[in-house]
Structure 1
Amino acid sequence: MTILSVTFFSACTDDDSFGTNRSDILTFSTDTVNMDTLFSTVPTSTYNFWVYNNSGDGIRVRKVRLQRGNQTGFRVNVDGEYLDNALGSQVSDIEIRKGDSIRVFVELTSAMNNSDTPQLVEDNLLFNLESGVEQSVCLRAYSWDALLCDTVVIKKDSVISGNKPIVIRRGLSVDSGVTLTINAPACLYFHDGAGIDVYGRLIVNKGNVGNDVVFRGDRTDRMFDYLPYDRVSGQWRGIRIHSSSSGNYISNADIHSAEYGVVCDSAAYDPLTSRLTLENVIIHNCKGTGVETNNSNVSIVNSQITNTLGDCVAIHGGSALIVYCTIAQFYPFSADRGAALRFTNFKGEYDYPLHALECYNTLVTGYAGDVVYGETKDTTVAFSYYFANSILRTEKPDSNMINSGAYSNIIWETPKDTLQGKGHFILIDEENMYYNFKLDSMSTARGNAMPIGQYLTDRIGKDRGDIPDIGCYQYVDPKRLIVFPR
């Protein structure tokens, strides 16, 4: 018993020894805590890193401090102890036994920097060891001054433009009889649950090809090291066109990672009044539908509508013109995804006559073997559609349907053809959620569109020439790209 006690005591004494050998140093899980870009005066989420003692002896840390004190806005908690500004932004006398570790948590609320561009905010977290060795971890971020808004109600005709980002916490609404115009290079960041409600009229970036207005969520941090929240669906609510609204024109816009992209509510159908035009628009990565229209007169031109948990495009009655669009259903977060294109003459229990769906030069594809759904509940209700010079990933109709005049020059896509589906595009990276829907050189969309005089350029302004491609992007030979040195 005595021998056991002595052995145990000796082991404890060995484990608890602390030395001052300068070769015994700490190891950090990272040498830099990089918070990317954040908005000035808005607190960040919490970042963390580990501090390990892999040496042969215990290490006493006499002091952990921020090199610049309270000048930068960083907040640090070391192993449960907060670096209090009143105490010089430091903590003292931390012991880390050999083989042990501690965790450090870091947050930042940066001050306004009075600049239109993000500015570097940087500090060093210094670890002063009892041995006299000083080690450090760099804390860094880019702080961007933004216009911070809670609830925005547009009560008179207004214009939004400029370089400064606009962060909207609760939502933006446009009153009836009022027009809101948003021009590039505006970028609107919406908090979780916030979106745009249009009761009047919304005009976005008309005529400004190649310079998108951006609508996105306000989280600029990352879910994982490889995955920014900006690539995760459902970060904000989306844009809703209410029944009182008409004449909306959204062009040259990038709308992504929302609950839904653009929803056009039901209203009395008027074939002479456009309720919504989408032109040169990206709607990508939505947790619901990309575009949903109900008993409305709409046009969708030169637009990319991709990767939605619900349908990419859902036309419930009314009339719709779809020209030179890429509609691709490769939503990565669920196998229970919707169609790429759905068109019906009803919504729920209500009949919505489909007066005319016309689809030209459009690429409709996705993971499933069939991503195009036409649904009718009552054959006495109008259900009129026409597809021409398009690629449709769906089962080829029988000869009676083909001869009915509803289809002309269609490429019927099959899952067995490796040059179709994902093969149409430059990059479909499900692991990192990165997508490039420009055409690959082997895509069957190349050269199979029908020239249409009023649509001579693609989504980003490239001339389509005499032999246009199906979809919103005209193929570009990478060998012909001019790369300017940086």
Structure 2
Amino acid sequence: MKQSVYIFLVILSLVYLVSCEDEKYTTSTDARLVFSVDTVMFDTIFTTVGSTTQHLKVYNPYDQSVKVSAVRLAGSPDSDFRLNINGIPSDELVDLEIPANDSIYIFVEVTIDPQGENQPIVVKDSIEFLTNTNLQYVRLVAWGQDIELVNTPITVDTEWTGARPYVVYENALVEKNATLKVGPGARIYFHAGTGLYVKGKLQVNGTLEKPVVFQADRLEEVYRDVPDQWNGIFLYSGSHDNLICDAEIKNANIGLQVGNIENEGYASVDIRNSRIYNHSYAGIFALKSKISAYNTLIYNCGYYAAALLIGGEYEFYHTTIANYWGGYTGRIRSTSSLMISDHVVVDQGDGSSTTYSGDLRKAYFANSIITGNILTGNEVELARLGKQEFNYFFDHCLLSLADTVNVENPTHYSGILKNALPKFVDPYVKMNFELDTLSAAKDAGSPEIGKLFPFDLVNQNRTLDAGPDLGAYERVEEQAY
């Protein structure tokens, strides 16, 4: 019996030794790791704020385990980069095992100190891998940008310039009696959950060559067209003489809210030569307010491109509202691009609701386009309680409407192209809402209105052909020679 046990133990030991032999690491000096990328690249990183996390996958392509003698950040300890190697926060690990035909992750972050520069700077480093005397590198590259960090209320007249980006990490509030002026080329980036709230006055003065941009602070390519990354711009009732000229407002929940229920009075704003797009709820959301707009493009919003509620006074000239929310994706919009209402119903959260209403003194749209991809085909919704003034008029417009809408009613319509195809150049992929040469909107505008706004969103002259085109863009045909 003892002899049998002895023989069994000998056999077991031999099996163990053979197993250990199988688990030996490859010792070939030709052994090379395989990497998911040769360069870990960070888009613009704001100084002091820190980056999102990028990752690198490291593969062992062999049938034996690989022992990596060292993995280290080449520039450590003075590097701006930080590593997490296979779950361990460290800028250097030794004798790291990667099993046969397996892999590990390395996570990379970077924080760049202020450089005192207005122009972007590049920060570089690399990760070194030493395997069986074989040295390999993966490059690390980040673009850094000094910023002006906004984290306190604006209580005095203030000017934001185009020298450096402004990053809003807590809500930016313009207090009553203060004016925020935003100059050409200014870039304002908002962290998630923040916005620009104005009780005083907002004056945005971009130019065609140097527009002012309001957007989220995630600059990676994957976030370029993601809505609902920040709250938007909010003008409180009582805030007057606001101006938004040559600006882009994108990727928020509500691009521009004008007015609120809680405050007395109304808000007012002029919008000129601006683009408002890709918002999860609405491009413009106005409550009992006053808006004058021209050469404005509003597109791709989850519910409304523009919602004008509780009455107010609104004038839109040469405006393109084109709500192709979802494009070719599965996102479906069931609300009209343009909502005009003299009331709004607010759920109080206890099973009750409150209706707020006001006079619609004017809703005037001229030489404009209102269209989209709603399944019902009706992109203009009018909602009236019947107790308030309800004055609206569409003058020389291309409108996508339900079949039941009578555009021959001279009280509300004149020169309407009902359900004609605008034929934009590329509304789905390139988001190009300029007119194709065969567009029904070409030369269809009122010349008198066109003369009031002789240049379009990109400074093309409207007065040089048979008539002004509808919408924000004037189609200029190439001349044959």
| Same structural fold, with TM-score higher than 0.5 when normalized by the shorter chain | yes
Amino acid at match of 1:294: L
- Match of residue 218 from structure 2: 219
2: CA distance, partners of 1:82 / 1:297: 55
Structure 1 residue 230: deviation in Å? 3.6
- Match of residue 146 from structure 1: 147
SS at match of 2:254: coil
1:297 partnered with 2:265: no
Structure 1 residue 22: deviation in Å? 2.4
2: CA distance, partners of 1:468 / 1:203: 29
Quick one: which of 323, 328, 350 aligns to 1:329? 323
SS at match of 1:386: strand
Percent sequence identity is 29
* 8 Å Cα contact 2:442-2:475 kept in structure 1: yes
Alignment of 1:239-388 (within 5 A): 239-266=233-260, 275-316=268-309, 317-332=311-326, 334-348=331-345, 349-368=355-374, 369-378=377-386, 380-388=387-395
1: CA distance, partners of 2:93 / 2:476: 58
TM-score normalised by L of structure 1: 0.87
2: CA distance, partners of 1:363 / 1:8: 80
CA 1:398–1:334 in 2, change beyond 3 Å: closer, same or farther? Answer: closer
Alignment of 1:133-172 (within 5 A): 133-151=134-152, 153-172=153-172
- Match of residue 23 from structure 1: 30
CA 1:397–1:337 in 2, change beyond 3 Å: closer, same or farther? Answer: closer
CA 1:14–1:377 in 2, change beyond 3 Å: closer, same or farther? Answer: farther
Q: What are structure 2's unaligned runs of at least 5 residues?
A: 1-6, 346-354
TM-score normalised by L of structure 2: 0.87
- Match of residue 193 from structure 2: 193
CA 1:442–1:121 in 2, change beyond 3 Å: closer, same or farther? Answer: farther
Quick one: which of 430, 442, 448 aligns to 1:446? 442
Question: For 1:28-61, what per-residue CA distance to the aligned partner results, in whole angstroms no more than 9, with x for missing partners?
Answer: 1111111111111212111112111112432221
Structure 1 residue 455: deviation in Å? 0.3
1: CA distance, partners of 2:92 / 2:154: 47
* 8 Å Cα contact 1:393-1:412 kept in structure 2: yes
**How many residues are treated as equivalent by the alignment?**
451
Structure 1 residue 427: deviation in Å? 4.2
1:406 partnered with 2:403: no
Structure 1 residue 445: deviation in Å? 2.1
CA 1:25–1:382 in 2, change beyond 3 Å: closer, same or farther? Answer: same
Shifted more, 256-265 versus 446-455: the winner is 446-455
Amino acid at match of 1:363: I
- Match of residue 79 from structure 2: 72
CA 1:475–1:292 in 2, change beyond 3 Å: closer, same or farther? Answer: same
Structure 1 residue 213: deviation in Å? 0.7
CA 1:238–1:337 in 2, change beyond 3 Å: closer, same or farther? Answer: farther
Structure 1 residue 108: deviation in Å? 0.6
2: CA distance, partners of 1:6 / 1:468: 92
Structure 1 residue 15: deviation in Å? 4.2
Structure 1 residue 7: deviation in Å? 9.7
Q: What are structure 1's unaligned runs of at least 5 residues?
A: 84-88, 481-486
CA 1:293–1:74 in 2, change beyond 3 Å: closer, same or farther? Answer: same
2: CA distance, partners of 1:327 / 1:427: 12
Structure 1 residue 476: deviation in Å? 4.7
1: CA distance, partners of 2:456 / 2:359: 31
Q: Quick check: which has more Rg, 1 or 2?
A: 2
* 8 Å Cα contact 1:269-1:297 kept in structure 2: no
2: CA distance, partners of 1:112 / 1:473: 41
